[in-house]
Chains A and B, each alone.
Chain A
Amino acid sequence: MAPAPQGFRQSMAWLHTWCGLVCGWLLCAIFLTGTLSVFREPITRWMEARPSAATVPGAAGGASDAALQAAAGHLAAHGAGARFWRIELPREPGDALRLAWPPAAGARGGPQTAALDPASGALLPAPWGRRTEGGRHFMTFHYTLHGGVPGYWLVGWLSVGMLVALVSGVVVHRRIFADFFTFRPAKGQRSWLDAHNATAVLALPFLFMIVYTGLAIFYTSYLPWPLRAVYGADGAAHGRFQQELTHQSPPMRRARSGTAAPLHGLAPLLAQAQALTGQPPRLVVVEQPGDAAMVVRIHTRASGDPRTLHQAVGSVAFDGVDGAVLQVQRPLAGATPASAQAHGVMAALHLAHFGGWTIKWLYFFSGLAGTAMMATGTILFGIKRRRKVGKEAGPATPWAYRAAEALNVAALAGTAVACIAYLWCNRLLPADLPGREAWEIRGFLCAWLAAALHAACRPAARAWAEQLSAAAVLCLALPLLNQWTTGQQAWRHALAGDWQQAGVELVALGFGVALAWGAWQVRRALRKGIPG
């Protein structure tokens, strides 16, 4: 690491190299998992591999009266004394009515769940599909690295590091527009630089947007100081701020009264919530269930208007005994002032909650371009250093270069291996294994660790070839694994019109082909003895 040189452009070049390298390894993993998170719902559907339940057309919330009554009955019988009950309504045709409630006070264990047929209300066999974190795992890893609060802050620091690397990169590449049209393939170092420039310029607006909105989503956590300066540091300060910003009162809460009372019928409340908000119901939460003070809160789903960027969702709170409307949070855009929508728009921009599947695919490919930009950047660092033996880190220089190359492999190929290994764990772990969702995530982390150890032990080029090949084989064999473990096939999903589940396997096959091509290139270069 040479001392920061004099001169603005040189100092920016130095900063771009080192900030990009140090932040780039973890950012690669964050970017790849973030790119996969775009399709977290299809991934979750594929991983849960639930059989198809009956469909109830026409009913508000997609469940029949009988099914809703059965749900309330099941919760009253099994969830008495729970703090709340949760009824998730069917989202897609074939989804079940899903119930969840926390264990009674004092009891141990995770949330209890059950699945009902949305037409007849019959209890479906448990476990209904595979219990899994599904695509949410990629999202959680994307913004916390599964490291809790320290991981969350680390991702925040890395994001600012990425902003710094982007700005300094733009300063360094003066000929940024001309560079975009320059590509010299199969020329070693020049090709890597051209690929780095092309992917960076192509995705530059997306990259600035995605990293800035990513920070902005959590603005009151990452940067709470302006809020504290104006509203004070007490626990209620955030609530006062939100109320002034949105002009909406916070969700009302009621204390438990202690007298028992029966639950009002849910079907008329669902229809009323749909009429009041203009959006279809998504989720029913019964607070203080079984008590005279119980509240039924019905959350709605954005109706999917493609012309608006930010779609607020509404909710209606009913008295759980007599069904009176207690509070309506309307989703109408005109009802909230413009500045209150700023955060929602930023979140929608980051999470691709607009524009439907077209925008999701655009985000997916932009995310891949961003990952490729970081990958080519960190690889370029190694190739430049391999040519001229420097003494940047004094006597430790060869060791430092070796570590950088191993980390390159672990950050890129290793993350790919871990992501596909996660899907394999989902299919290989028994469906009724207790705590299987946690074992799937352990599988992901173990695969990543194993890839890092492998990269540290093997020569860099061989580690590249072997890990890319491993990831390619796992991707290409995924449909076979699925057929063998669940009997489901991508082409049957496609024929049934379920492109979400079919898409997961088709994209895995696409990744498999790309990874196999990469592995073949590295092996060819190895045989010819071309460095890089």
Chain B
Amino acid sequence: MTNHFIDFRNADVILNMGGNVAENHPVSFKWIQAAKDKGGILIHVDPRFTRTSAKADIYVRLRSGTDIAFLGGMIKYILDNNLYDEFYVKNYTNASFIVTPRYGFDDGLFSGYNPSLRAYDAATWTLEKDENGLPKRDMTLQDPRCVFQLLKKHYSRYTLQKVTEITGTPGSDLEKVYHAYATTGAPGKAGTVLYAMGWTQHTVGVQNIRAMSIIQSLLGNMGVAGGGVNALRGESNVQGSTDQGLLFHILPGYLPSTRAQWPTLESYNKTTPTSKDPRSINWWKNRPKYVASLLKSFFGENAKKENGFGYDWLPKLDPDQDASWLNLFDEMYKGTFTGFFAWGMNPACSGAHAGKVREALGKLDWMVNVNVFDSETGSFWKGPGMDPKKIKTEVFQLPCAASMEKEGSISNSGRWMQWRYKAANPPGVAKPDGDIMYELFKKVQALYKKDKGAFPEPILNLKWDYETSGHFDIHKVAKEINGYFVEDIPEHPVDQKAYKKGTLVPNFVYLLDDGRTSCGNWLYSASYTEAGNMAARRKKSDPTGLGLYPEWSWVWPLNRRIIYNRASVDLDGNPRNPNRPLLKWDAAGKKWTGDVPDNAVPPMGATGAYPFIMKPDGVASLFGPGLKDGPFPEHYEPLECPIEKNIMSNQRINPVVKIFEGGPDKYLTCDPRYPFVCTTYRVTEHWQTGVLTRWLPWLIEAEPQMFCEMSLELAKLREIKNGDTVMVASPRGKVEAVAIVTSRFKPFNIAGQTVHQVGIPWHFGWLHPKDGGESANLLTPTIGDPNTMIPESKAFMVNVSKLTKQPAKKPTKS
């Protein structure tokens, strides 16, 4: 999130799309209600009428997988009717930037497409620079090659009629939403968007969010109270686990993973983003300081300037290697791995194409499964269709402490890092995860010390000293993440003050690239300082009255509650919305008041620093050349869809998605055997695959089993009654479910054709409860977004048929 949960109350219009906030983030709804109580408008756009729709001022439905068409129409509406925030668009976005004449777009393909590689060469998407390396601009926005004009041209094709044909949303409904949301283009108004996996789990997932980011930038809604682009993340610490780099492509703090083409730290640092524009702060220019400090936190005293701080000891990916989830399980299926950790995860139910995942687990030599409860992953070897006597995989199941049985911090969707205390001991011999990994590594290290082995240096040189009185101490890790000075610094270049060896760094501004500082994650630097554990703070002051609560917990970066907040002020530093001033320049005191400024430079004026400090050009990107599938979002159909032809172009699906072929990977699109669109979702009483909810009596009683929601019309067509058992089938698997026949779903009219959609939750699995049903992911395909490889679980094709079962025999009386 750029903003945070309480900030919802500051919005004039809230758009929840690709999500169901009332049911999946229920408590946050109180802040939506607070906005509504002040006259705010809630819009819900979703294929299914949910409790969010019931509370919405405007609810409209769309077919799963057509969000870019829907939002493309909104971009056109905003531009056609001059509803954008002109000041903001000219000053704070790249609307005025000139695009190279080599850029083009024709019939669904951007320039630079290579069909044999299924990839673009982005060299034709660049922004032009002048002789000094500064971006060429036309502040009148009239140049036909300026971003603004290209944007206008691109979305001129998204007419109401075409959008209706694609989405199935009636034109009058589209206009209702477009009109209501576009009112937030006025400087005194704020609109926010709340999305979830309904936007990410598509082959156009990133571009769904890009489309909305374009709208938010056009309307001046980024960096303001009540605005922003806000991902409602699904897990309590999925923000934090991402921040800490538990993904193949990033090290902690979003530093790119090391790759073979950068064999030395020097070559890695050459990829540091640069800008020749003195008005662009380009914060990423500081990256070398963060990398050097990270390496120090890995290898401590063994990380020396002479050895590139141990850069050699980090594993390198191949130049274009993608080691993400779908590829990981594809490799496992092919037998690449002998060992596997499923730590606090249940991929046998959570992974797309779960049948393939379960088979893949049987090809391992060993698996370590750590969890609070047993799961379909830990016990996969005795699952349906498995013969344990034929499965070689050795399985270790380690019991771990639940969240209230250990100490540590988690980061919510609004980036609030909150400390949790230990309330009780874990049951039996269960231990906190941190203790398990700490002890396990010590065993590994001892083995390598004793017997050596392949390339032992990273293991032997790793800094692993997080003990107090012989016990693992999580506070020591928290301090490692914050960072400290590794030697006395008589005069620090930032403030000319002296700092002692071992002193925790005040924040990441103090990090150095010469090995004199250590920091496990620069983004979290300032979270645990000499002033204490900031995440544990509980002071409820609210000086701005906007609900920022600056002394409650801690927020990355630097306790800044709303990112890019300098975009909320005018060129002189005055709030553009005087009713909700997030930031104000105090000219006399020469400082900002309000939120922690992003960043603490004077107001922009005519020559000062642009507000979007993490972007190389300093402004928001309406034209975004950094993605694999194009600089503007374009509508493509899901891999499996109900219509033979994309109404927008001759490219049916995203032209750069990776297609997994052969083996268990089957797809059928527009196939009469699988005629219905299917989507997955969650219910309030369960969470993810249900490992942490299915074993809880209160919750499993409330939602006991797998179901399939369908419209009255579809039920009639298939002669299904409410409560019947049905079979939901895709080319990859079958799942039994109880039919819920409901007017919450309605058939769509897609270009004159009736299209039915059904929905299923993904909380269940064979292990428990016994009659609870199976995982929805047995049906979903192995296909992902080309940028993130997040699987397309929100739009695929199924069949639904009634299962005629013999009624249970009554016991005969003797």
Note whether A and B form a binding pair.
Answer: no
B-side residues, CB < 8 A to A, are none
A-side residues, CB < 8 A to B, are none
